[in-house]
Structure 1
Amino acid sequence: MRTMTALALILASASAANAAGARNNESFIEQVGARNQATIQQKGGRNNQATAQAGEDNTVLTRQTGKLAHGRNNSGNVQVGNENFASTLQTNSAPNAEAKDVGYKNNSFSAQYGDRNTALAKQDGGKNNQATLQVGNLNVSQVVQANSSVTPSSATPVGGANGAVTKQVGDKNLAAVSQKSADSTADGDFQPGHSNAAMTTQIGNRNEVATEQTSVGGTAEGPRNAAATVQIGNKNLASTKQGGGVAGSFGDTPEEQRANYTNASFIGQAGVKNVAEVEQANGANTQALFQHGYKNAATIEQSTQTFGTGNASNNALTLQHGSKNLASVSQSVAVPLALGSNNSLISQIGGSNVVNAAQSVGQQASAGNNNQVSMQVGQGNVIQLVQATGANVSNTSFTAQYGIHNVATVSQK
């Protein structure tokens, strides 16, 4: 605790000095033990780093490059144990040729307690923040973040920011986070990128998490992405991918509504060998998944159309408790200049349950809503649902099965 407090004070004092206009590079290293290595390379000024190592054969590699007169790179590393490795690569640079006077900064911190843990962080551009905590042995964390987005407006002062928090407690856990924000001037029309936020917590052994989020302006604005993954147990696998755009050629999303167009995902898994895959695009998606048991699998894909006003939304909630449950949800909205939404709720308690649900609304629908609820309690239940609507037609389906060997098939158009 004293070491972490000292690191915080050092980074804070260095930042204060730089804020006063200094172009210095600041570095602090404390080593207790044998054969610990810390290699620090800082260029351009306004770079700060602090490293504390206690144990044997720990390695820290820090490379920071400052390309902004008012920007900053800050990094801190704590290693307690043996043969831990931490690498931090940071470069602050202008988001474009006309925005060289910005004061963007990158912040990175990692703490490793145990043996042979690996923490990798690479941040480019500025407005990138990452923190990694590893407690155990042979854990691996990788965070890659890039931002080349200016602040879109006074209403969104942190536009384009990337944030990642990774916590690993146990052995041989793997976490990978990739986030990108960027602006675009396609066809002379400025389209900003927005923020990405990822939180990963793993408690157990041999769990794996992969999170990929992009908020890049193109023919439309980039969405706001937020992902949280919690895994408790062993050999669980979770994958989240989010991106897309929130407005387009058929009409722009009103400024006061744009903050609502977020891809949001939460995954919670407890048990052994659970698998969850989530892919969401174009904002206004909401997903929550809870799995407890053995060999549960859930695949959720949601998409709203990139063209149109963007005022369509997908909502999916999946709850599975037991063993060998499978739930697949695919929802798509294509409603130019109109409202449209898909809603799906799936709850399974027991074993060997299977649910497949697909919902879509047609491009020419002025308003179309699909609603689907499935609940299964028992063993060997199967539900298959397909809904498609257009021209003001809404599909609604509710299915509940209690017992064993039940089969339900629903198709509505």
Structure 2
Amino acid sequence: MRMMTALALVLASAPAAYAAGALSNESFIEQVGTKNDATITQKNGNNDQATFQAGKKNSVLTTQTSNLASGKNTSGNVQVGKDNTATTSQTNSAPNALATGAPTTNNSFSAQYGVKNNVIVGQDGGQNTQGTLQVGNKNIAGTAQSNSSITPATASPVGGDNNAFTGQFGNNNKAAVVQTSADGTSFFGDNLPGHSNTSSTMQIGDKNEAATQQTSVGDTAQGPRNVAAAIQVGKGNLETTTQGGNVSGAFGATTAEQIANYTNASFTSQVGTKNVAEVDQENGANTQALFQTGTKNAATINQTTQTFGTGNGANNALTRQVGKNNLVNLNQAMAVPLALGNNNSFISQVGGSNIVNAAQTTGQQASAGNNTQAAIQVGTGNSVQLVQATAANVTNTSFTAQYGMHNTATVSQH
């Protein structure tokens, strides 16, 4: 109780110091056990750090540098067990030379319970927040956040902050999160802000691996709002999610419509062993959900919209597999300027050894859009191949349902 109270007091003490005009560094370290090590380096003030270690040979290395009077770094570490390692590096700085008053707060907290767990955190810029929880042995979690977006976190419709959470319960799990938000300038000199990245990764079991990369950088258009969640329960599961690009589509009149046009959203859930899922989304308004239960399931989802399109930029995919040895490959694309969107897919497989390959694309205007695909397979040895492309007056729609075994379906529409 005394330790938690001290942590709270140290991390909450900054406002009073700032109000008094001081640029102070605050640090609290409590160690219970033997051969625990904590090394703290804080520069220029406005840095707060708290560490609690209980056990043997735990190690904390924290480096915090504040480059602005209005900036702040806050970090906390809890280690209970043996040979746990936590490394935190935080540097706050202005997004550009003309925005020295922009919010530049970095927040980091990690808690490790077990043996030989490792946490590595790097935060640069400001508006970065991360939390990591490890319970077990030999888990590894890495978080890298970089933010040079001037957009406030409270801005409407979306701010420019990075947020990440990683939870690991088990042994030998690995998780990596990379988030980047930055402003850019258009060809005409307009400010094109980067927006927010949000990631949540949960691993329960052994030897699971998860990687998340989110990029929201203003370039040919504003950066998107990326949201990703991954849950892995079992052993030897592998998940990779990549989100980036620039927003595609005219922004709606209401806040809800604007958020929809900014957003890349992804959810992946795997239960079993040796499931593999890879999701790639480029630009805004992509939505994906994937569920795998069983062993050796594999799903790859690629969605993309044209960077300088003017439509709503929508790609939607939902994939569900229950059983073993199922495979899904889906690619959806709007590859030309001024594409208005659509592309929808639904795939569900129950059984074993099922395979679905689907590709949808829109283009050639008039006006480009649509493409709808749905496939349901129950049994063993089923296979579906689908290719759809729009032109002229657009619209392609296909529905396939197979019940039994040794079924084959091939559909091609142009």
Post-superposition offset of 1:172: 0.3
Length-normalised TM-score, structure 1: 0.96
Give the conservation status (yes or no) of the 8 Å contact 2:311–2:341.
no
Q: Offset of 1:158 from its aligned partner?
A: 6.2
User: What amino acid is aligned across from residue 259 of structure 1 in structure 2?
Assistant: I
Secondary structure of the equivalent of 1:8? helix
Structure 1 residue 363: deviation in Å?
A: 3.8
How far is the alpha carbon of 1:399 from its aligned partner? 0.4
Equivalent residue for 2:68? 68
CA distance in 2, matches of 1:185, 1:406: 53
- SS at the partner of 2:8? helix
Aligned mates of 1:96, 1:111 — CA distance in 2:
33
One-letter amino acid of the structure 1 residue matched with residue 381 of structure 2: G
Cα distance, 1:274 vs structure 2: 0.2
Q: Is it true that 1:58 corresponds to 2:58 in the alignment?
A: yes
Structure 2 Cα separation of the partners of residues 91 and 134 of structure 1: 24
CA separation of 1:338 and 1:302: change in aligned 2, threshold 3 A: closer
Q: Paired residue for 1:25?
A: 25
Instruction: Show the 5 A alignment for 1:5-404.
Output: 5-151=5-151, 155-156=155-156, 159-187=159-187, 188-247=189-248, 253=251, 256=254, 257-260=257-260, 261-334=262-335, 336-337=337-338, 339-404=340-405
Report if the CA contact (8 A) 2:81-2:115 is conserved: yes
1:57–1:82 Cα contact (<8 Å) kept: yes
**Cα offset for 1:161?**
0.3
- Rounded to whole Å, the distance in 1 between the matches of 2:160 and 2:364 is 31
Task: Name the % identity.
Answer: 66
Given that 1:209 and 1:238 are in contact with CA atoms closer than 8 Å, whether structure 2 keeps it comes out as: yes
**Which letter maps to 2:266?**
S
Residue 17 of structure 1: SS of its match in structure 2?
helix
Q: Closer, same or farther in 2 for the Cα pair 1:275/1:30, shift >3 Å?
A: same
Kept in 1, the 8 Å contact 2:339–2:365? The answer is no
Moved more, 46-55 or 150-159: 150-159
Q: 1:318 to 1:252 in 2, by over 3 A?
A: closer
Query: Contact 2:85–2:116 at 8 Å: present in 1 too?
Result: yes
Does the residue aligned with 1:111 lie in a helix, a strand or coil? strand
SS in 1 for 2:222: coil
* Structure 2 contact 150–193 (Cα < 8 Å) conserved: yes
**2:224/2:246 contact within 8 Å kept:** yes
Query: Offset of 1:337 from its aligned partner?
Result: 3.9
CA distance in 2, matches of 1:153, 1:62: 25
In structure 1, the residue corresponding to 2:12 is in which secondary structure? helix
Contact 1:368 1:391 in 2 (8 A): no
Query: CA separation of 1:19/1:281 partners in 2, compared to 1, >3 Å: closer, same or farther?
Result: farther
Moved more, 365-374 or 231-240: 365-374
Offset of 1:153 from its aligned partner?
Answer: 9.6
Change over 3 Å in CA distance of 1:19–1:259 after alignment to 2: farther
State the SS of the aligned residue for 1:312: coil
Distance 1:50 1:154 in 2: 27
| Cα pair 1:69 1:103 within 8 Å, conserved | no
Determine helix, strand or coil for the equivalent of 1:339.
Answer: coil
**How far apart are 1:308 and its partner, in Å?**
1.9
CA distance in structure 1 between the partners assigned to 2:411 and 2:207 by the alignment: 39
1:313–1:341 contact (8 Å) kept in structure 2: yes
Deviation, 1:357, is 0.5
The alpha carbon displacement at 1:336 in A equals 3.9
Residues in 1 aligned to 2:205 and 2:6: alpha-carbon distance in whole angstroms: 30
Q: Given residue 81 of structure 2, which amino acid in structure 1 is its aligned partner?
A: G
TM-score, normalised to structure 2's length? 0.95
Amino acid in structure 1 at the alignment position of 2:78 = V
Amino acid at match of 1:100: T
Amino acid corresponding to residue 98 of structure 2 in structure 1: E
Cα distance change of structure 1 residues 163 and 152 upon mapping to structure 2, 3 Å threshold: closer
Shift of 1:407: 0.4
1:78 maps to a residue whose letter is: V
Alignment partners' CA distance in 1, 2:13 and 2:42: 17
In structure 1, give the amino acid aligned to 2:133: L
Structure 1 unaligned residues grouped into runs of 5+: none
Shift of the alpha carbon at 1:9? 3.0
The farther-off stretch of 237-246 and 180-189 is 180-189
Is contact 1:68-1:103 (8 Å) kept? no
Shifted more, 12-21 versus 363-372: the winner is 12-21
RMSD: 1.7
Amino acid in structure 2 at the alignment position of 1:145: Q
> Compared with structure 1, are the counterparts of its residues 153 and 323 closer, same or farther at alpha carbon in structure 2 (3 Å cutoff)?
closer
